[in-house]
Structures are given as C-alpha cells and as structure tokens.
Structure 1
Amino acid sequence: MLFDTHIHLNVSHFDEDREEVLQRAKEAGVENMVIVGFDHETIPKAIDIAEKYDYIYAAVGWHPVDAIDMTDKELDWLEELSSHPKVVALGEMGLDYHWDKSPREIQKDVFRKQIQLAKKVKLPIIIHNREATEDIIQVLQEQNAGEIGGGVMHCYNDSVKYVDAFLAMNFYISLGGPVTFKNATLPKEVAKHVPGDRLLIETDCPFLAPHPNRGKRNEPAYVRLVAEKIAELREESYEEVSKKTTENAKRFFDISG
C-alpha cells in the first residue's frame, strides 16, 4: 500500500495518457493520491479528477509564485470549494523566493490569508517552500498555524535543523524524488531524522522524478522508488515504510478506510 500525497495529474503533461498513468500507479501499489490545484486552471481540474476516481482526493490553494494575481474573489472561491466532499486540504500555499513574479510581501500576505482560511474551514494545509524557510517558519508561528490541526511541508528539501520547528507546530514532513538523488544530502538526512509518525511520501509529478528516472516525466507509480530509498536510509523494511506513511497520510487528510 502506498499513498502519494502530492500529485499534479491536472496539468497538460498527462492529457494524452492519464488513464494509463493511473493504471501503472495501481500496479505499483499506489492506493490513494491527493491531486493539488494551485491556480485558476488546475483547481477545477483537480476537483473534476477527484470526483471521477474514488481513491483520489483534492487539495486547493493559491501558489506563491502567482500570489500577485490573487484577490478576495479567489479567496472566496477557495472557501467555497473547501466544503467539497473530496477536498481534504488547502494548498499548496507558502513562499517562493526563487522566481520574482510576486513581491515577497504580497506572497506573505496571501500566505497569511490562506492560513486564516484554513483555521476557519478546519482543513490542514500544504506548504510550498523554495528558498524561504526562515520566513515560512516566521509566518506560521505568527499565525499560530499549529492550531489548524495539521500541516505538511511538501517535498521538503532543506536542512534538518529546521525540521523540529515544523514538528513543534504539528506538521508532517513529506519527501519526494530528491531523496533518491545521488548528491542530495539534505533530504537523506531528513529521512533519517523525522519521527516515523510524521513522515509522508510524494512524487510532485510531473516534476522531480526519482532516480533512475531523473529528468523524465514523473508519475505516481514512482512513489514506490521514494519509499524504497527511505526504507534503505532508515534501515527499515519497505513494507514498514509504506504502511507507516499510508497510515500517516490517512490520519493527516482525515481519510478513513
């Protein structure tokens, strides 16, 4: 059993063979997935796909790169969608200092508004972080994000020294393809450090395909490679890691069965 906690099957990369991709995921043992919408185009597609498949759930949020495009209208839209029976989280939200489309203060403002919405609608949050870890922590602490009841640092790829700050706020740490990369030391250290009950796995497909598929289109079936590498790093069995991360994901997203 595997649970891919962060996929983007709602982007054009999968328009030609989405059904085949899902079949390969099933064959690899992937039993559940959360498809993440992050803008005007991908949010409705996430909902549509989640409605079509009983084992796929949706998350809706506004990506920090596009924070400058978000208005109160979009925030109201997210609130409306939060009551959909297949929506299990808000996100991805957060800060991205790699690209320069949205000024940092606007990103922070949009991030705060989505955290406040999560408190209102009582859903956990999915955090996107790129080159902004200390500011992410500052905003989460300032907003008392621990009160939400759960959050996840999606595709965590930063120093282990920050992990405990997130754990203290009731956050989970999700690892993806980079944990398999030969020269990626940070996620490997994190994989060994995170408590077993706070660990999640993901692909972030179509991005960040794990070794030996690095550089190719990623897909949910490859989450098995992530679980296998984490098992090796933690000196645990693959079965133990897959079972543990699936139980964690179902608890985090409040999914029964």
Structure 2
Amino acid sequence: MTQQTNSQLSDTSRAPVLVDSHCHLDFPDFDGERDDLIARAAAAGVARMVTICTRLRQADRVRALAEAHAPVFWAAGTHPMSAAEEPLARVEDLTELARHPKFVGIGETGLDYHYTADSKPVQQESLRIHIEAARRSGLPLIIHARDADEDMARILSEEHRAGAYDCVMHCFSSGAALAQTALELGFYLSMSGIAAFPKSGALREIFVAAPPERILVETDSPYLAPPPHRGKRNEPAFVAHTAARGAEAFGMRLEAFARQTTDNFDRLFAKAAAWTPDA
C-alpha cells in the first residue's frame, strides 16, 4: 500500500466514500456487535453495504437487518453450495422478495464445483431460475463462481442471448477467460480481499485489464479479510483496505477509485441508489 493510501486510511475525517457491495451481516460471527460494526464502517467511509441471504428460509432475518439500519440493503438467493440441501427457489418467490424497497439484487447464486461438484445439475438449474428472476425483477444477478469457469461462461452467455439481464461476478477470483466473457456481456467484476493478498498479482492483472467503470469492491465478510487483517474475521470497514489496493493496481488515487466504484455500484444497483429513508 502506498504512503498516500496509508495516510488516507488513517484519517477517517478524509475517508473516501465507499460501498461494501457484498457482506453477510446475519452470520453469527457478528452477533452482539452489529451496531458497532456499522459504526466502524461509517468511520472508515463505508456509507452503504449489501447484506446477502444465502438460504431463502433465512430471508426474514436478513430483511430485518436492512429495515433496522439505514446504510444496509439486502439481496437473497440460494448459494450454489447449498443448492442440493435447500428446496429449489421459485422465480415467483424471488420476485416477491424483490418488492421490498431495500431488496436490491438476486443471489447469491452461481456454480461451485470446488467442494460440491456432485450437485452440478441442481446448481445449474438453480442458477437459471435466479437468472429468470433477475430478468423479471430488473435487479442485478449476484454470481458466485468457483472452479466452474466453462459452465459458468456457457450458461451466462446462453441465458443472456435468451434475454438480457445485469450481473456482478462477486468476489471474482476466476480466470481471465471468464472475466472477458462477463465483461463482453456488460457485467461487473467485484474485488474482494483476495485481490489484496500479496500473491494475487495475476488476479489483479485480470482486474486491471477491465474498464474501471466495471469494477466494484466488497468484503464478503466475515470471510477473506484483506491485509493487514488477513486471517482474522472480516467486516465491512475493511473494504477500505481492498479499495486502497485496487486504486494502487489501477494507478488511481484512492479518492478517484472510491468515487468510480461507488458510481459503478449506483449504476448497477440503481434501486439502492434511488432509495431514501422516506421511500
């Protein structure tokens, strides 16, 4: 991290405004301190965050967090690693959730063949259901992809030809070919703490090859804390460290990178951008 970005992060009065586009505030890791972690996020310049429901039967508790905290928005879907354990989502159920004023995305959904390759067929069926819900609701799809690049590129492309939809490749850590496919479809790539790890130079090159107007930042907290917190529990405030590393990789000042990624979030998650407390 450069001296400039270090000094900016140490002075919260000048912290650039950021959005944590993907976190899991309902996870038990945060029990008893959600008010404090949201306050710490604000002090670090993180003005908004999207908390993600990964099992639809837990939607009520995730929605309650968004209702209780002005900076918090929510999304819901069936995580691919849970697709074989949970009832298949229905398009109608997802679009009904999308009626909530602070519900801003469909997912996370996707494909994960790292530990759960045996459930490939149901993962793919679940993914296509979520894509249709994104089309009907007009909300962006939130994709988790791991060790499934070829199938992911194929399904996203097939479905986009059948009817356009918006999408973010959350916590992107896949290969350059999948990144290129996503960008050609008009999608966004999201940088997590993985992109800030010292040995992630090849991944940072994939991000830097993308237009800056297609980049988001996230924590995926409580997982994947960036340096200097690597190995510890992650939280939304730490997205500032990932953004600092992203700015460095793109050769931008932190303020400019923060402004760009926030503008990108507002373009993709237009419902969140339009929300007001009186809405």
Shorter-chain-normalised TM-score: which range? Answer: over 0.9
1:69-97: per-residue Cα shift (whole Å, max 9, x none)? 34356554323211111111101000010
Measured against aligned partners, the alpha-carbon deviations of 1:30-83 in whole angstroms (never above 9, x if no partner) come to: 011111101045422221111112221111111111112343565543232111
Answer yes or no: is the 8 Å Cα contact 2:91–2:132 preserved in 1: no
Distance (Å, rounded) in 1 between the aligned partners of 2:162 and 2:44: 34
> For 2:104 and 2:25, how far apart are their aligned partners in 1?
17
Task: Please say if residues 152 and 174 of structure 1, whose CA atoms lie closer than 8 Å, have aligned partners that are also in contact.
Answer: yes
Q: 2:274 matched to which residue of 1?
A: 256
Give, as a single letter, the amino acid of the residue that structure 2 aligns with 1:46. V
- With normalisation by structure 2, the TM-score equals 0.87
Contact 2:89 2:129 in 1 (8 A): no
1:43 to 49, 52, 59: 59
Superposition deviation, residue 102 in structure 1: 5.6
Aligned mate of 1:165, from 181, 185, 188: 181
| Corresponding position of 2:97 | 81
Task: State the shift of 1:256 in Å.
Answer: 3.0
CA distance in structure 2 between the aligned counterparts of 1:175 and 1:15, rounded to whole angstroms: 26
Maintained 8 Å contact 1:124/1:148: no
Q: Partner of 2:171 in structure 1?
A: 155
2:138 aligned residue = 122
- Residue 235 (structure 2) pairs with residue 222 (structure 1): no
SS at match of 2:188: strand
Give the corresponding residue for 2:44: 28
Residue 115 of structure 2 aligns to a residue whose secondary structure is coil
Q: Of 200, 225, 228, which residue of structure 2 is paired with 1:209? A: 225
Structure 2 residue 73 is the aligned partner of structure 1 residue 57: yes
Counterpart-to-counterpart distance in 1, 2:225 and 2:42: 18
Q: Which residue of 1 aligns with 2:6?
A: none
Structure 2 residue aligned with 1:133: 149
Matched, 1:95 2:111: yes
Distance 1:145 1:155, change over 3 A: farther
Aligned-residue RMSD, C-alpha: 1.8
User: Where does structure 2 lack aligned partners over 5 or more consecutive residues?
Assistant: 1-16
Alpha-carbon distance in 2 for matches of 1:100, 1:23:
37
Q: CA deviation at 1:117?
A: 1.7
Residue 66 of structure 1, aligned match among 66, 82, 90: 82
Q: Is the 8 A contact 1:200 1:245 kept in 2?
A: yes
The 1:73/1:197 distance shift into structure 2, 3 A limit, reads closer
Q: Deviations over 1:139-181 (max 9, x none)?
A: 1111127844410000101222332210111100000101111
Deviation per CA, 1:170-197: give whole Å up to 9, x if none: 1000001011111123321123112011
Structure 2 residue aligned with 1:196, among 176, 201, 212? Answer: 212
What runs of 5+ residues in structure 1 fail to find an aligned partner?
A: none
- State TM-score, norm by structure 1: 0.94
| Divergent runs of 4+, >6 A | none
* Aligned pairs, number: 257
Identity value in percent = 35
Q: Which amino acid aligns with 1:116?
A: E
Distance 1:84 1:19 in 2: 22
Aligned-pair CA distance for 1:113: 1.1
